């Protein structure tokens, strides 16, 4: 039940924010939004506010925005989506993926405000009970000044030196108050890679909401760049095609949900960035595909005919099914099925 509720929460949050982007931009540009729906399937609740109907559907997965003339239009109207200039249609379509990045910024900002931002200094923020550091006598607040005689000035240097010394006696010197103390310990292997750890946590600096928002932007930008670089490596066959489909996402959400709500928010932020990027792919039926078609229409000065538009949608369906099949295959391999 925890996995199901967590998945509904994460997936619902991501898709509703995405659709909210389309909705708000359409409203801002004067396009008639006929319905904003939460979920899919049979309608449970419905109420009209102003000119828009807001509905709640049976299956709480995602949502949708129905604009006048988005699919087909019998009578042209100046408030129809199809009758809007190219610029307005591009803004409405692009606002969906943009809101996924905004959501990631907000989620990261909440995490940084509650937990804090990792400090760069080589100072111990916490000691894990039963670990090598705790057994040796290291305490929170100790500032590490050297490891095996090598001076350290940042947390990254501490991690780099300790990770190489799994199973080897290591000498760590720290400053505690006005004293300098020396400790002898043996890092243990954290996983199959043999990376050494001693059971210490870095200092987290909490900031006000505005500074946390700044760090949320930085984290979102850094994560986006990392994903794009990783994607480029997979395309160039410099890295394995490690993709997750619905099964993998459900499994990841369930596992993370059991570790705490803030960790679930962190995963939601990561998935929101992935969803925003995926929707920008130039594949028909996705927002990126619509942006290409609308942009091409602006260059040609005339819209695509119904036959060409239908053909592009068919290609989009085939490509999306192929991507889904590949991702599901990867999920099954991961699960050992």
- Catalytic residue numbers, as ranges: 19
The three-state secondary structure class of 257 is helix
Residues in the chain, total: 337
Q: How far is CA 269 from CA 77, 216, 272, in A?
A: 38, 10, 5
Closest by CA to 107, choosing from 256, 260, 266, 258, is 266
Q: In degrees to the nearest 10, what's the CA dihedral of 103, 105, 111, 112?
A: -170
The rounded distance, in Å, linking the Cα atoms of 152 and 214 is 28
The three-state secondary structure class of 40 is strand
Closest by CA to 161, choosing from 146, 173, 175, is 146
State the number of CA atoms in the 13 A half-sphere of 199 facing the CB.
17
Q: How many CB atoms lie within 10 A of CB 207?
A: 15
Closest by CA to 18, choosing from 36, 5, 34, is 36
Q: How many CB atoms lie within 10 A of CB 293?
A: 19
Q: Which residues lie across from 47 on neighbouring strands?
A: 54
The rounded distance, in Å, linking the Cα atoms of 152 and 172 is 10
């Amino acid at each position: 039940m925890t996995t199901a509720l967590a998945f509904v929460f994460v997936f619902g949050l991501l898709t509703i924010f995405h659709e909210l982007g389309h909705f708000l931009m359409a409203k801002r540009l004067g396009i008639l939004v006929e319905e904003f729906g939460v979920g899919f399937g049979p309608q449970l609740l419905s109420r009209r506010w102003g000119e828009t109907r807001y509905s709640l559907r049976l299956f709480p997965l995602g949502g949708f925005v129905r604009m006048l003339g988005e699919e087909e239009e019998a009578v042209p109207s100046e408030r129809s989506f199809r009758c809007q200039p190219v610029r307005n249609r591009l803004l409405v379509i692009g606002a969906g993926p943009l809101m996924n990045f905004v959501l990631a910024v907000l989620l990261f900002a909440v995490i940084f405000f509650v937990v804090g931002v990792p400090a760069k200094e080589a100072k111990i923020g916490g000691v894990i009970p039963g670990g090598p550091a705790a057994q040796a006598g290291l305490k929170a607040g100790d500032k590490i000044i050297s490891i095996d005689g090598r001076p350290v000035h940042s947390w990254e240097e501490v991690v780099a030196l300790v990770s190489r010394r799994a199973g080897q006696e290591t000498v760590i010197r720290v400053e505690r108050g006005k004293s300098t103390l020396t400790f002898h310990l043996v890092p243990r292997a954290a996983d199959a890679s043999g990376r050494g750890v001693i059971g210490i946590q870095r200092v987290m600096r909490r900031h006000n909401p505005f500074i946390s928002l700044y760090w949320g932007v930085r984290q979102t930008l850094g994560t986006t760049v990392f994903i794009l670089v990783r994607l480029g490596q997979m395309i160039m066959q410099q890295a394995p095609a490690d993709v997750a489909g619905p099964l993998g996402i459900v499994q990841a959400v369930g596992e993370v949900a059991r570790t705490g709500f803030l960790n679930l928010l962190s995963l939601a932020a990561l998935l929101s960035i992935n969803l925003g990027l995926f929707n920008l792919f130039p594949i028909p039926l996705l927002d990126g595909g619509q942006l290409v078609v609308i942009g091409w229409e602006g260059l040609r000065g005339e819209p695509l005919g119904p036959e060409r538009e239908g053909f592009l949608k068919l290609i989009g369906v085939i490509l999306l099914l192929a991507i889904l099949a590949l991702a599901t295959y990867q999920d099954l391999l991961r699960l050992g099925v």
